[in-house]
Structure 1
Amino acid sequence: MRITAAETLVSSPGRNFVTLRVTTDDGLTGLGDATLNGRELAVESYLREHLVPLLIGRDAHAIEDTWQYLYRGAYWRRGPVTMAAIAAVDTALWDIKAKAAGMPLYQLLGGASRTGALAYGHASGRDLPELFDSIRAHLDAGYRALRVQSGIPGLDTVYGVASSPAAPGDRYDYEPARRTGDAHPRPTVEVWDTRAYLRHMPRVFEAVRNEFGPELPLLHDGHHRMTPVQAARLGRDLEPYDLFWLEDATPGEDQSALRLIREHTVTPLAIGEVFNSVHDYTTLLHERLIDYVRSAVTHAGGVTGMRRLLDHAAVYGIRSGLHGPTDISPVGMAAALHLDLAVHNFGIQEYMRHSTETMEVFRTSYTFTKGALHPGDGPGLGVEYDDEAAAAFPYTPAYLPVNRLADGSVHDW
């Protein structure tokens, strides 16, 4: 079965997505997600100009060989653009292989290890009453685990907090990539104060626990904004509230920084949504400095790359917590769900509901029932791309915000 065509599809149904569609001489098609939020066209160009010409005529079944050919053959390895492009090719080929076998992808990955993947939603509020309303709305919508983000007194905008309250499924999950309509927009600027954040968040979790009890799994994202010492302090201060995890407490480039955090808190740690290779995790896994890996199938080399990473993590008792915001397309989400169902060391799956417009373009078979996701039992990934619907949503330039401290210096966003 040979590849006869590969197309890069760019659309913006509520936000920008880059999709690769591969077609074989048997008439089968496979989809891969190549979305890199705020840098979408860099990956689209990499695919269209550099990888697509290499795919034509290749054996669609030779997934591992194709992965190595694109990874090792380019000489310039890793990096978010390269790995997102490889991920799109890899995921599309797995979609084709599963369709050719007449099976859902998870069956080719060893079959189901569980009946569904526990998912967590994103509850947020500018103050405690608004946060409590958001938590209740998510619980009513069926979620059984929640990430909690709160406004900080004195700060106008805070990462992870929706600009206005809304119900789950009604665009409640904020989209940080701002689309101004300008041909060449610039990132918006947000102001940050770490000390105010460190003072406020323990009070937030104390209030949430007092209101909703000890059983509800609660997660929190620090979004790389703390030094190791600050992160250690927050982890220790949050210990009485029994978090499921503290995510991205400090920038992950220096893996040794997690040693200091680990020495001072027993709050579980998750990191890795900006990582794109198993090599980014080596120290973290070998020294058991984290409890959950947070990469996305879309950014970490596809199904093949993510399976390799999760198998490596399993040796050290470290579980999955795959990245699943709305800048991962439904194709990337479906691929994650097939892995979630198959791997033994599954932990939890992030789940932000896509907009109605997005779901018009991407026709999916995955379901959310009683707090758990399932990819469906149809052949392949279970996602189809609607070209006619996509044509109504052309690419729109957008940037993630830039973060600055009160003195004007650039901080981690």
Structure 2
Amino acid sequence: MTDTIVSADVLVTSPGRNFVTLKIVTASGAVGWGDATLNGRELAVASYLRDHVCPILIGRDPARIEDTWQYLYRGVYWRRGPVTMAAIGAVDLALWDIKGKVCGQPVYQLLGGAVRNRILSYTHATGWDVAALLDAVDAVRDRGFQAIRVQTGVPGLDSVYGVTKDGAAYEPAGRGAGPVEEIWDTAAYLRHVPGALVQVREHVGPNVALLHDAHHRLTPNEAARLGKALEPVDLYWLEDVTPAENQEVLRRVRAQTTTPLAIGEVFTTVWEFQQLITEQLIDFVRAASSHVGGITPLRRIAALAEVWQVRIAPHGPSDVSPIALAGATHVGLATPNFAIQEYMGYPDVVHEVFRHDWTYAEGHLHPGEAPGLGVEVDEALAARFPYERAYLPVARRRDGTLTDW
């Protein structure tokens, strides 16, 4: 007898920051969990799920993962976009979770089994000045990381993406009535960052992988200039050098620098990556397992990228929940052209709400051997942390014009 979905419910919880979680239950009692968190727009996804997606899941066969994905993507006419794809991603993750539990296998086994023993991961080190940054780098190396994203403050600016003045953990979404407005100066950034990163490289030696995120702030010429200036640093990658909606501009960057490029955390479909991959304009795809619509399309992106010798490295900040991180690690263990997984870590209370089988040790992640994704949600504890309105910042140039944050 075919199993069916009997309920689909949305939980919004804020143990330190907001998360949107989907719970799907089948007639046989199997429970699947999915992540639909979209930082700063959480309630939009929660409503999309509750009001439009959850009702049409009831009665469907949970085993038909691909068909359900096509149904939710092609069947609604209004395609793509972060809200739609995060909602579809939550459903897809939950159905893979159920599939694994029904089969008694971790999801990576259903994807063809492990192709590596563990997954290389990187975390963030930040400092308002170079001395503080070097201390932060040493601290994360003491935790076992040998791949580190480094971000530094910029002289003359009061706020810089990824960095706090007091050394506290960075959380971009601010609680309050509206977004914080930051002042940005590209020239000051370009003057300061290459020298700062050279000092980091001299400090750690040649064997530590260093990464840096420009966070969409640069024009193609500025991006090319930065990439060329950073060639002596031997970066593992330079991330999001320019907004990539106009993908042809990456040709200019590619022509001017051999620094590896990583792009794609704000993209939501394989079609947005198509030109970047097939023209080899990037080296790493930054798609998040939840934001591109789940494990099902992430595998398609990885397959396309493999043909063109591009590797995948899913987005993994603190604003994707441990469920989405679990999805990425299962894909990572089973995917040949998987490169590295971002892992910012979570406060202890998040680990308590989202109890997970995946583990971190000595710079690497492993999804674990629990059936499904290996994450279970403590609903009673989650209910103790109600949603709090939060917004990502916006950025303005010194003359007041809005720029990319």
TM-score interval, normalised by the smaller of the two chains: over 0.9
Task: Measure, in 2, the Cα distance between the counterparts of 1:252 and 1:13.
Answer: 33
Per the alignment, residue 150 of structure 1 pairs with: 152
CA–CA separation in structure 1 for the residues paired with 2:115 and 2:24: 29
- What is the distance in 2 between the residues matched to 1:117 and 1:301? 22
Paired residue for 1:366? 358
Paired position in structure 2 for 1:113: 115
1:178 pairs with 2:174: yes
Amino acid in the other structure paired with 1:18: V
Query: Aligned partners of 1:26, 1:45: CA distance in 2, in Å?
Result: 27
2:180 alignment counterpart: 188
Other structure's SS at 1:256 match: helix
Is it true that 1:160 corresponds to 2:127 in the alignment?
no
Aligned counterparts, 1:6-405, within 5 A: 6-165=8-167, 172=169, 174-180=170-176, 185-405=177-397
C-alpha distance after superposition, 1:287-315 (max 9, x if no partner): 00000000101100100011111111111
Moved >3 Å (runs of 4+): none
Amino acid at match of 1:399: Y
Alpha-carbon shift at residue 163 of structure 1 (Å): 3.8
Aligned-residue offset at 1:156: 0.7
CA shift for structure 1 position 165:
2.2
Amino acid paired to 1:30: G
Q: Which stretch shows the higher mean deviation, 154-163 or 65-74?
A: 154-163
Distance across 1 between alignment mates of 2:255 and 2:94: 42
The separation in 2 between residues aligned to 1:3 and 1:376, in whole angstroms, is 26
Distance 2:173 2:5 in 1: 34
In 1: Cα distance, 2:74 partner to 2:310 partner: 27
CA deviation map 1:114-142 (0-9, x unaligned): 11110001001000111011000000011
Letter in 1 for 2:202: N
CA distance in 1 between counterparts of 2:107 and 2:207 reads: 33
- Counterpart of 2:266, as a letter, is V
CA distance in 2, matches of 1:295, 1:175: 20
User: What is the distance in 1 between the residues matched to 2:152 and 2:226?
Assistant: 15
Tell me which amino acid in the other structure corresponds to 1:128. V
Q: Distance in 2 between matches of 1:209 and 1:94?
A: 41
C-alpha distance in structure 2 between counterparts of 1:65 and 1:391, whole Å:
33
Q: C-alpha offsets along residues 166-199 of structure 1, whole Å, 9 cap, x if unaligned?
A: 5xxxxx3x1110013xxxx110011100011011
What amino acid maps onto 1:236 in structure 2? K
Q: CA RMSD in A?
A: 0.7
State the distance in 2 between where 1:163 and 1:364 align.
32
Alignment gaps of 5+ in structure 2: none
Q: Deviation of residue 211 (structure 1)? A: 1.3
The yes-or-no answer on 1:3 pairing with 2:8 is: no
SS in 1 for 2:247: coil
2 CA distance for matches of 1:97 and 1:164?
45
Q: CA deviation at 1:322?
A: 0.5
1:206 shift after superposition: 1.1
TM-score by length of 2: 0.99
Q: In structure 2, how many angstroms separate the alpha carbons of the residues matched to 1:252 and 1:357? A: 36
3-state DSSP class of the match of 1:6?
A: strand
Between the aligned partners of 2:244 and 2:375, the Cα distance in structure 1 is: 32
1:210, CA displacement in angstroms?
Answer: 1.4
Task: Give, in angstroms, the shift of residue 144 of structure 1.
Answer: 1.1
* Alpha-carbon separation, structure 2, partners of 1:58 and 1:402: 41
Secondary structure of residue in 2 paired with 1:146: strand
C-alpha distance in structure 2 between counterparts of 1:206 and 1:75, whole Å: 49
Q: Tell me how far 1:274 sits from its aligned partner.
A: 0.1
Q: Deviations over 1:212-231 (max 9, x none)?
A: 11111000000000000000
Aligned to 1:169: none
Shift of 1:282: 1.2
* Structure 1 CA distance for aligned equivalents of residues 144 and 17 of structure 2: 25
Distance, in Å, in 1 between the alignment partners of 2:223 and 2:141 is 29
Report the 3-state secondary structure (helix = DSSP H, G, I; strand = E; otherwise coil) of the residue aligned with 2:274. Answer: helix
Q: Secondary structure at the match of 1:23?
A: strand
2:229 & 2:329 partners in 1: Cα distance? 33
